[in-house]
Chain A
């Protein structure tokens, strides 16, 4: 009798453990229906059609490899659907795990002050491997600025300015308010979407939204 109890108990515990872990593993953070608290504002960096009804807001971290993986997808989306939608980039540097993320975000802000936010954004993602783990990333960032013909003196100052820090913080705070806890996180018309697994999936999600809005 004791043996039966022991073995049934053990089987029950194992089965329960498997069931619980599978449930937990299948849970997708993006499944939690999230909404964007702060809709687009004039201080946002945006591209595409600024009058479009469809707005994709991305919370991103320049040092995050996953964000780097989504970068070409977004670029292609912009080329193909840029006339029908607007793209917004917001900073969500995961400072605890990415040492250069904050500085990269401020560098992009500094480039933005000279009108080249998106060009700089592209450079950062395209060369992510080069600067991600470097201790002297600031010099690399100044070099990128130079390659875009920016005023490097001004760029270096702006990168360390209070305004750049505040802008990055503001984006980060707005992300926290909208329950962003990972990057990239996408909001399509204010609703959090599950990260698409491929370009086609991404395109379908957006085309669906365009269809529904017209």
Chain B
């Protein structure tokens, strides 16, 4: 029993703090960004071109919604889910949650790649807030990879 406890403690120690806070902060930034875009979608004011936000070509394109639901809303849900799961992790310290998030981050990253492709090659315009989301989801994915690597190392250690 005691050996199992020490093993568990060891495992906990292997998840560095910056990784945890990275997940929390990045998912929150992504959530704010996607919520802003969603709010703009529902309350937004008609099209114009501005230096800062471009021409709203992206957010007013046919690709900005799926069945009338703005993709930014799905994005907000995704980031919120990660954020809440992180809080759940901070609360319960169950590492399973972290590994689940890492796999979720892969999905988010794939979705982001698709949106980047749409912006660069189909719509041929860039949307600043979509690029912020691309950045946060990519960073979340990288953090997820680091985490999964830690996991696989531990399994190797535990096996030997």
Contact = CB atoms under 8 A, between A and B. Distances in A.
Interface of A: 3, 6-7, 10, 13-14, 17-18, 20-22, 24-26, 28-30, 61, 64-67, 69, 94, 96-98, 133, 181-185, 194-197
A75 B114 CA distance: 39
Interface in B105-141: 124
A162 to B, nearest CB: 25
Contacts of B49: 61, 64-67, 94, 97-98, 182-183
Interface of B: 28, 31-32, 35-40, 43-57, 80, 83-84, 87, 90-91, 124
Contacts of A7: 87, 91
A194 B47 CA distance: 11
Contacts of B57: 65
A21 B36 contact: yes
A115 to B, nearest CB: 29
Contacts of B90: 6
B39 A24 contact: yes
B48 A66 contact: yes
18 contacts: A7-B91, A10-B84, A17-B32, A20-B32, A21-B32, A21-B35, A21-B36, A25-B35, A25-B43, A64-B49, A64-B55, A65-B47, A66-B46, A96-B51, A182-B49, A182-B50, A182-B53, A195-B46
Given A13-B28, A17-B31, A17-B32, A66 B55 contact: yes
Contacts of B51: 94, 96-97, 181-182
B62 to A, nearest CB: 15
